[in-house]
Amino acid sequence: SQKIEQNSEALNIQEGKTATLTCNYTNYSPAYLQWYRQDPGRGPVFLLLIRENEKEKRKERLKVTFDTTLKQSLFHITASQPADSATYLCALDSTGGFKTIFGAGTRLFVKA
């Protein structure tokens, strides 16, 4: 069955460092991969979308890579700040479908 794996252990980093979160998937050939941020008690907020034919996409301090051979996406936050502390969800989408599949997310803590 289709499966998305995100590191269930929280990631703790120091302010100013680069945070790198991993999303691995199996039994799936997504056309698009999305990253969302979720704060406690709130709904997820869309951050970035990357297509299968794109290797990298950037938005301000965020960078996403998509390796369809490794079946993996990496999400980077450079110059991290305490305000970046949240849970980050990876989501996969197939062309023509409505069934986006979400990972369980990785909790990020950025210490001042």
Contact residues: another protein, CB under 8 A? 4, 8, 31-32, 34, 41-46, 49, 51, 89, 93-105
Q: 3-class SS at 3?
A: strand
For residues 3 and 17, which CB has a smaller minimum distance to another protein in the complex? Answer: 3
Q: What are phi and psi of 105, to 5 degrees?
A: 95, 160
CA 57 – CA 49 distance, rounded (Å): 8
Min dist. Cβ of residue 111 to another protein (A): 22
For residues 18 and 95, which CB has a smaller minimum distance to another protein in the complex? Answer: 95
Q: 3-class SS at 43?
A: coil
The structure tokens listed for 9 are 């252990």
Taken in order 85, 44, 72, 101, the sign of the CA dihedral is: positive
For residues 15 and 54, which CB has a smaller minimum distance to another protein in the complex? Answer: 54
Q: Which of 100, 90, 94 is nearest to 47 (CA)?
A: 90
For residues 45 and 70, which CB has a smaller minimum distance to another protein in the complex? Answer: 45
Min dist. Cβ of residue 16 to another protein (A): 29
